[in-house]
Structure 1
Amino acid sequence: MIVAGLVLAGLAAVLHVYIFWLESVVWTTRARAVFGTTEAEAAATREMAFNQGFYNLFLAIVTAIGIALHATGSDAAGAALVLAGTGSMLAAALVLLLSSPDKRGAAIKQGALPLLAVVALAVGLTL
């Protein structure tokens, strides 16, 4: 189960790097179609999206470092970082779901992999 959790965490990290790219790199161009924003809305929220994208990148980095630590034998530190990263991803998805029910689809997409990773790791670590 631990390996499955680490693979799921890795996929969640990749997804959050993609979200970083959308929010911080192509917010006013390609991301407009993904998020359904107008040119004016994208321009008005560019700085906020840029900053938010980096939060997603940092969560992916923490998760990736945790996976690398676990793979190199630092099981406790690795698991702690993976759970911190994926747990934060999951918490952010829950905040989105609860604060903006109309964005339920995005919250589920953002939170499904971290949820599965947290559950698999928790089960694997307790066995």
Structure 2
Amino acid sequence: MYFVAGVLAALAAALHVYIWVLESLLWTAPKTRKTFGTSHDEAVATKEMAYNQGFYNLFLAIVSLAGVIGLVADERGVGAALVFAGCGSMVAAGLVLLLSSRDKARAAITQLTLPLLAVLALLVAIL
């Protein structure tokens, strides 16, 4: 189950790296604006906020990937702690989005599903 947890955590990290690219690098691009449902003016007005938010996603991905590396290196305690921290934070952020913006339920569920599965698989592996 550690292997499954590691794969799911790596996939969650990859998704959050993609979100970082959208929010921090491509925020005002037409395809990104369509994805997030923002107009050009809204994207320009929120560019700095999105840039900052994107880096939160990148840092969560880095923590989760560091945890995966720990699991692969057979440092299960450190790896598990980092996967729980990174993926658990991704789940929490997804829940905040879901509870604060019901119209963004699809994005929230997308954001939290892989990390939630990683956390659950890791719990099964540990127990």
For 1:106 and 1:114, the matched residues in 2 are separated by 14
Match of 1:3 in 2: 3
Within-5 A mapping of 1:1-127: 1-29=1-29, 30-126=31-127
Q: Shift of residue 70 of structure 1?
A: 1.5
Task: Give unmatched runs, 5+ long, in structure 1.
Answer: none
Q: Which runs of 4+ in 1 moved over 6 A?
A: none
Rounded to whole Å, the distance in 2 between the matches of 1:55 and 1:71 is 25
Q: TM-score, normalised by structure 2?
A: 0.97
CA separation in 2, counterparts of 1:19 and 1:94?
16
Paired amino acid for 1:120: A
Q: Number of residue pairs matched?
A: 126
Q: List alignment gaps of at least 5 residues for structure 2.
A: none
Secondary structure of 1:114's counterpart equals helix
Q: Is the 8 A contact 2:2 2:71 kept in 1?
A: no
Q: Is the 8 A contact 2:20 2:54 kept in 1?
A: yes
What displacement does 1:103 show? 0.5
Q: In 1, distance between residues paired with 2:34 and 2:103?
A: 17
Q: Supply the AA of the counterpart residue of 1:110.
A: Q
Per-residue CA distance 1:49-77 (angstroms, 9 max, x = gap): 00000000000000001111121121100
